Structure formats: structure tokens, C-alpha cells
Amino acid sequence: MIRILIFLLGLFFFAGAITYFASLDSRITGEAFGMRFDGPSGLIVGGIILAFLAAIYLTHKIKDIIALPAKIRAKDAASKRERGIAALTRGFEAVAVGDGNDAAHHARVARRHLDDEALTRLLRAQAAQLSGDTEAAKASFSAMLEAPESEFLGLKGLYAQAMAAGDTAAAKGYAERAFHLRPNAAWAFQSVFDLGLERGAWRETREALANARKNNLIEEDKANRARAALLTADAYALRSSNKSEALSDLETALKLAPSFAPAALLAGELHLDAGHKNKAARVVETGFTGAAHPALIKFYDRLYKDESAEKRAERLKKLAEKNPTSDEAALLRARAAMLSEDWQTAIDALEPLVSGGGSAAAYALMAKAIAGRDGEEAAKPWMEHAASAPRDPRPGADGEFHLTRDGWARLVREYMDYARLSPPPIEEAAEGLSADEVRLLLAPPVAEEPLPIDEGEAAQEIASSLGAEKEPREQEEKLSADFGSLDDEDDHIHDDEEAERAAAAARNVS
């Protein structure tokens, strides 16, 4: 409709122009190139206008004719590029499917139709990988490093090849270069982080962690926990050669994660070595408040071993109040009661821990409490349960953290991701004593009245029993020499190895 309107308006204007020029009565006279002309002004002006329009039209057509070969070439190039892009797309589809031969075919087609090598190098490299041609794949990935737009992808491919070949040194170089090129690349950070842990390069790993945090590749809480664990690993390596630097690393670690038990334990030991007993106690108390750990309890108990039993009991109660709902707090309350020879209070504190499946530590302390109340003979069943109970799976449960380089790497990952020192056990704990069994074992022994017998039978029984009891008595003496009395107040809190040795000996006696 609009086109028709424009055509009618143009026609109307053209007709008006002709009518106007034709109605002019004047004449134009002139001379040019030795020729004289004379004619109506309307005709001459109209002719000039028509000649100008014709020149414009002819110029446009001549330009189109001149540009025609270039247009033909451009159209062919566009068609060729379309075929190349289609081949590239089908090639990546083949890579996704895992068809190396089809991917290689489409890579050749794409390379033939596309002038930009950067677009085809990745496909050629991946096709070569699928076909098992590692040399060709490496050559393609290496060629990608020459172009800035494909350098990062080339580094990723070379890193994957180096890891597959077990060349961690080369993989480290590729990963670090990629991380420097793209600090926001998650795979590059993870690769640098994992390789740093594997090599035990704690300081380099911390630097990579800091860069990752700047680029929001890791959450702040995770980054803080990882930094704390890495600083602690460095401190354990420096504890013998440079105690001041180790303590400085530990103080930074505890600011990031105050409840990290390995850092709190070593910091307490270093403070104690420097003669700062109160600082050592405060560090342990802060760590115990966030996460109760057996190593902290044992160190705290050793810290005040020279004090009287009453003072030690008060200090253990104070520590238990820092984390009152933990199992370790119940063990501390029981130990404090035993230091005061309040055996029944200790038994009451331990009873919830041994009902339904207690730990070796709880059974061992219960054996000592029962021995104090009812005698060592009544404690033997508890010692046997202590020996058969599962050991504490947490690192440092024996009071010290003796971790290998691989152990520290695993601990750093576990603490960073889950805020714990080790993964949970893969098996369910065996069922322990039921509530009825616990009550039965806790009941005080009932004295039995001797049956009346004649003197001859009594003499024979005494003579026979002397030989039968000789060997158990010798074993009991050996147990006392190897393990010590259950009433010993200087033993450490819930020593699992000690409990196992004692229980094994107790089984022989029984």
C-alpha cells in the first residue's frame, strides 16, 4: 500500500514537472565548443535534469558490474565457511559421542573449509586423543599456544595429557600457566591446589588459595579452614628448626580456625616449652570450646600433673564446662571425680557413654572407677570391653599428631570441605552393652556365705586350689608390673593403648 502511494506521488510530481517546464515561454540562448544553440528554457532544463539522473543510474550499474567478482568470491567464502562450521559442529558431536574416526574426518573437512586454524586445532587435538594418537594431540595442543585466543584451551589439553602420562612436573607447569592466564578458572585453581598438596608445597598452595579467594572461586569459610590447616602443616615441619616461625604460623591459623585441634595442641606445646603455661592453657581451652578432642585433654592433664589432686580435679571440671555436651566433657567430669576418689560420681558420669556402645576410653575409665569402688576383680569385665571396643578414628586420638605428607594433604582437604579431621567410619559401630547389661555390671558384688564342709574336705580343697590359683596370681603380678594399678592417679586420660594391654592381660587372668 505504501509503495503504491509512493509511486502515485512520484508520478504526480513528474507530470507536474513536465507541465511546468513545458509552460515556460522563455528561451535560452548560448554558445559552447564553437556551437550556438537556442531553445525553449523548459526543454533545456528538463533535458539537463534527465541527463543527470541517467548519469547516476549508469554510475550505479557500472559500480555493480565492477563489484560483481568480489561479491561472487564473498558468497563462495561464506558458503565455504558455513560448510566448515557445520563440519566443526558435527566433529564436536562426534567427540562427545566418543567416535574418534568420525571426529577426525570432520576435523579434516573443517580445516579444508575454514581459514582460521584456531577453530580447528582443538577439534583435531580431541580427535587425535580419541584415536589414541597422543603425539598428534600434543602437537595440536602445542600449536594452540601460539594464538592468544586458543592458548588457555591448549594448556588445559596439555595438562590433561601430562596427568594421564603421570608427568606431574609438566602438569604443574601447565596448570600454573593456565591459572596465571585465567585466575578465575576453577579447574586451573583446583589443579594447582591438588598438585601443591601432593608435593607438600604448603606455602605455594596457600598463595594459590589466596588468588582463588580474590576471584570468588572458593567460599570464605572454606578458604579460612584450608589456610589454617596449611599453616599448621608448615608449623609442624618447622617445630624443630624454627619454633618462633612455627608459633607465628600457628597463631595465624588459630585466628582463622580457633577450634583446629592440631594447631591448638602444637601451639600449647610451644608455649609450654617457652615457659608460658597460662598461654598454653588458654589456647587449649579455646580449642576445646569449639571442638573437643582427646589430644587437647591429654595435654591439659599433663600441663597440671604436678599439682595436687584437688586442684587438678577443679581444672578438669573447668575445662569440661567449656564444651559441656561433648562426650569428652563427661570423661573429664569422671576423671575429676576419680581424682577426688568419688567413685560413684565417676560411674554416674560414665554410664551414659557405655550404654549402647561405648568407646575404649569410656570403658577404660569405667574399669578404674569400678576398681576404686568394688575392687580390681570387678573391673576385669570392663577392661575386656575396653580392649574389644573400637579405637577412636580421629587423627591424634593418642595425644599426638604424627601425620605424613599424604596424611596432611588428606586432612587439609577434609577440614577445608567438611570442617572435620577425618571422614566418618564406613562401617557401623558394633552394638555395645545394653542398658540392662550395664546395670548388671555396675551392681556391687554380693558376698556369698560359705557352705559348711567337714575339715577333711576343706583340707583337700585348699590343697587343690593352691596349685590352681598359683598361675593366675603370677599373671596378676605381671599385669601390675606391666600396666600399673587401676588406682594410679598419674595415668593420662583415656589412654586406649594402655586399656588394650590391660584388657588383654585381664582375659588371660580370667
Q: Is residue 457 part of a domain?
A: no
Q: Is residue 437 part of a domain?
A: yes
C-alpha 491/C-alpha 409 separation (Å) is 33
Q: Is residue 350 part of a domain?
A: yes
Question: Which of 214, 213, 215, 195 minimizes the C-alpha distance to 205?
Answer: 195
Give me the domain span that covers residue 333: 326-409+433-442+470-510
Does residue 399 carry a pLDDT above 60? yes
Cell of 280: 598454653
Chain segment 474-499, per-residue pLDDT in tens: 444 433 434 334 344 444 444 444 54
Residue whose grid cell is 568394688: 374
What average pLDDT does range 304-321 have in this prediction? 92
Question: Which of 176, 98, 84 minimizes the C-alpha distance to 130?
Answer: 98
Q: Let me know how many helices (H) and strands (E) the chain has, helices first.
A: 23, 2
39, 71, 86 — which closes off a domain?
86
The alpha carbon of 373 is separated from its chain's Cα centroid by a whole number of angstroms, namely: 49
Q: Is residue 297 part of a domain?
A: no
Chain segment 411-464, per-residue pLDDT in tens: 999 999 999 999 988 777 667 788 888 888 888 776 555 555 554 554 455 445
Cell of 468: 590352681
Helix (H) or strand (E) holding 372: helix 360-374
Chain segment 226-240, per-residue pLDDT in tens: 999 999 999 999 999
C-alpha 175/C-alpha 279 separation (Å) is 42
**How many independent structural domains does the chain possess?**
2
DSSP string across 193-251: HHHHHHHT-HHHHHHHHHHHHHTTSS-HHHHHHHHHHHHHHHHHHHTTT-HHHHHHHHH
Q: What is the pLDDT of residue 268?
A: 95
Q: Is residue 163 part of a domain?
A: no
Q: Is residue 116 part of a domain?
A: no
Q: Is residue 509 part of a domain?
A: yes
* CA count, 13 A, side-chain hemisphere, 270: 24
26, 54, 86 — which closes off a domain?
86
C-alpha 368/C-alpha 392 separation (Å) is 19
Question: Which of 116, 78, 109, 77 minimizes the C-alpha distance to 92?
Answer: 109
Largest CA distance in the chain: 177
67, 86, 105 — which closes off a domain?
86
Q: Which of the two residues, 78 and 418, has the higher pLDDT score?
A: 418
Q: Is residue 373 part of a domain?
A: yes
Q: What is the pLDDT of residue 451?
A: 52
Does residue 299 carry a pLDDT above 90? yes
